[in-house]
Chains A and B, each alone.
Chain A
Amino acid sequence: MSDLLLWKRLKSGDKKALETIYLQEINFLLGYGKKISSNGPLVEDCVQDLFVELWRNREGVSNTDSIRRYLVVSLRRKIIRKISKTQKVQSDKVPEEVDFEAELSIDTKLIAQELSAEQAAQLKEAFSQLSSRQQEAIYLKYYSGMDYKDIAEVMDINYQSVRNLIFNALGKLRKYLTSLLLIIFYAFFS
């Protein structure tokens, strides 16, 4: 079912639509949330609130062509708000900053065929050196398959900033690869 249709069902009060959305997105939402905050119970609370509020406000929510984007935008805000509440930070701290932290997991097949274990470790290290925002943008693009427009909305920055974040990050990672590629010779896969 398309997102639009599923959303329509939800808005018309179909509880099964809520359950479908939940089952489709729960793994991603928990995974993403736990990269913003290592406080698991806090993230789970936010996810729970997110779905309860979605149901209670279903008639008022705007239409969306991407349910995931809608949910991620709200979840991100909720987590940030909750963290700043628990930490009782001063109000002048930029509220949209998060400490996003992800870890690359390089496919063992790729390691066997095209990279040595050591090279894979170097690449992972290079990724961990990227800024929190670069990591988040890369994660949303390559893991979740979001486009630049969606990522801009989630991270609350403009389109061009997203592109810059991603291209700068790719450029840094590529430097590691270029030196690796010089010594690797492999057949092109089918």
Chain B
Amino acid sequence: MSQDYTKYDAVELAGDAWFIQWIVEGDPEASQFWQDWLKAHPDRQSLVDEARLLVKALRFKETPAEENTVQRLWQNIDTLTEEPPVTSKQSRPGIIRWLGYAAAAASVALVLFFAFGRGETTVVAEYAEQRTLFLPDSSEVKLNAGTTISFDEKKWDTERVVNLDGEAFFEVKKGQTFSVQTNRGTVEVLGTSFNVNTHDGRFDVACYTGRVQVDSRLKDEQPAILNPGQRVRLNRDRQEMQADTFDLQRESWVSGSIEFDSTALSDVFAEMERQFDVEIEVNEALLVGKTHTGFLVQGNLDSTLTAVSWPNQLTYKKETPRRIIIEQQ
């Protein structure tokens, strides 16, 4: 923060976005900044107290909209925006169709969950879909394509636990331990933001803010503690976690940018299947030892296919718009 806050009075402090971030959001970075700042300027304590009380007092009386109003309005909107179906959908493999149904069911489940607030809730982000949901404590989860998450709302007050299969980015509200359980390990945090990816047999965890504890299911492995900018990966064929760092400023799938960094070609095609909702058929032998570095071109399957295939001496043809065959050039 470049501002010289020593020149601020209580009103200016109370109007400052960074100050509000600390008081209202409890943002860890802001909190650290302001506590340090107070240590350096103890004479500002009373000003800060005043500003803090002012900001805290500015809460508003809100009556949440009634659930049946929300539903009724949506039904009206839905009916008024209905359009004739353009073409019938391509026939899809069974599992994807099932995912489609699951996603539809999940939307219903989500609505029911808000209406009645009990029991196990499952939410699915279909292929070619990303979705955002809020957990009962208003922690936010963004699901990448082809991801399933479930949690028990009834038990939420006693244990914040979600089960994850796929990839998700979490922004967890401060509180008791929040844990993400996956097939290959568990991630535990108190309140922070982090990404977990279990697609294609991997277990990758990256920490964006706060601290994250990662506990793999491996017997000999100690839990790893991650600070912002650190990540661990457990590849499907590895029996130990590998730690490295990443650039926090770098765009990620959450901001709409999917990047491959010397990623195995088999994983690249798997990601493309999820992002574009297509089937990619390729002889495994063609993929051995090949990797790809670059961006996935959002919404443009052909550009992405070309960008991935050419440097690897591969070519592609479309059997149907949703079925792609990869061959040697």
Compute how far the CA of A104 lies from the CA of B58 in the bound complex, rounded to whole angstroms.
6
* Interchain CA distance A48-B10 in the complex, whole Å: 41
CB-CB under 8 A from A18, the residues of chain B are: 77, 81
A22 and B74 contact, CB distance less than 8 A: yes
Q: Is the interface of B mostly helix, strand, loop or mixed?
A: helix
Q: Tell which of A1, A44, A110, A174 touches B131, judged by Cβ atoms closer than 8 Å.
A: A1
Compute how far the CA of A22 lies from the CA of B78 in the bound complex, rounded to whole angstroms.
11
Contact A166 B15 (CB under 8 A): yes
Closest A residue to B65 by beta carbon equals: A30
**Is the pair B61, A107 in contact by a Cβ cutoff of 8 Å?**
no
- Which chain A residues lie closer than 8 Å to B57 at the CB level? 104, 106, 110, 115, 120, 123, 173, 177
Q: How far is the CA of A16 from the CA of B106 in the complex (A)?
A: 12
Shortest CB-to-CB span from B229 to chain A, Å, is: 21
B327 at the interface (CB under 8 A from A): no
Nearest chain A CB to B222's CB is how many angstroms away? 30
With A and B bound together, what is the CA distance between A8 and B257 in angstroms?
A: 13
When each residue 109-133 of chain B gets 1 if its CB lies under 8 Å from chain A and 0 otherwise, what string results? Answer: 0000000000000000000011110
Q: Which residues of A contact B129 (CB under 8 A)?
A: 16
Say what secondary structure dominates the interface of chain A. helix
B11 A171 Cβ-Cβ under 8 A: yes
Quick check: is A178 within 8 A (CB to CB) of the other chain?
yes
Say whether A5 contacts B130, CB under 8 Å.
yes
Bound form: Cα–Cα A141–B80 in Å: 33
Q: A106 vs B299: C-alpha distance in the bound complex, in angstroms? A: 47
Instruction: Give the A-B contact count at a CB cut-off of 8 A.
Output: 128
Number of interface residues of A (CB under 8 A): 54
Contact string, B24-60, partner A, CB cutoff 8 A, digits 1/0? 1000000000000000000001100110011111111
Contact A170 B61 (CB under 8 A): no
- The answer on a CB contact under 8 Å between A170 and B256 is no
Mark out the residues of chain A between 34 and 86 whose CB falls within 8 Å of any chain B CB in the assembled complex.
44, 47-48, 51-52, 55-56
- Judged by a CB distance under 8 angstroms, whether A158 is at the interface is no
Within residues 128 to 148 of chain A, which ones have a CB less than 8 A from any CB in chain B?
138-139, 141-143, 145, 147
Closest 7 CB pairs of A and B: A105-B61, A142-B58, A55-B81, A103-B61, A5-B256, A30-B65, A170-B11
Q: What would be 29 A-B contacts, judged by CB atoms less than 8 Å apart?
A: A2-B255, A5-B256, A19-B107, A20-B132, A23-B70, A24-B132, A27-B70, A31-B65, A48-B73, A51-B77, A51-B81, A52-B80, A55-B77, A55-B81, A104-B61, A105-B60, A110-B56, A114-B56, A123-B57, A141-B15, A142-B24, A167-B12, A170-B54, A174-B10, A177-B50, A177-B53, A177-B57, A181-B46, A181-B49
